[in-house]
């Protein structure tokens, strides 16, 4: 069963990577992040994937008190967080952001995609 889930996650990531790259080629860089979010959500839905936009992430104190609320750009198939950026280069702050989202949601897999660079950038993150 674990091998099946791993293969399914790999195929999902591959599909998203290919679609995101096609958007990067078509639109280039220089647009606002929302434009890429709209394009990616639309194309992923056309590909038959279940997509949630602006997925809420709540952060709680040890005693259960809500101490923060964020929104991940996209959630694919209820199991893969997609965080989009439009910057010249991904940095450690972006990595820490998606790792925080993964920890808070208890979702194991995430993709960090940067449409703002000349060179397409995508990074996969997995938390245990």
**C-alpha pair distances (Å), 20 with each of 25, 57, 58, 77, 78:** 9, 23, 27, 16, 18
Report the predicted TM-score, pTM, of the whole model to 2 decimal places.
0.91
- List the domain boundaries for the chain: 2-126
**C-alpha pair distances (Å), 123 with each of 13, 24, 66, 68:** 10, 15, 29, 25
pLDDT tens figures, 99-114: 999 999 889 999 999 9
pLDDT tens figures, 69-78: 999 999 999 9
């Amino acid at each position: 069963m674990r091998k099946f889930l791993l293969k399914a996650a790999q195929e999902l990531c591959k599909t998203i990577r290919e679609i995101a790259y096609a958007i990067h080629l078509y639109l280039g860089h220089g647009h606002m992040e929302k434009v890429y979010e709209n394009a990616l959500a639309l194309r992923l839905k056309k590909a038959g994937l279940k997509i949630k936009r602006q997925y809420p992430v709540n952060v709680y104190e040890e005693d259960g008190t809500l101490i923060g609320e964020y929104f991940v750009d996209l959630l694919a198939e209820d199991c893969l967080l997609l965080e989009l950026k439009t910057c010249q280069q991904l940095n450690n702050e972006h990595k820490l952001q998606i790792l925080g989202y993964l920890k808070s949601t208890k979702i194991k897999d995430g993709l960090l995609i940067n449409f703002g660079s000349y060179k397409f950038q995508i990074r996969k993150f997995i938390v245990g």
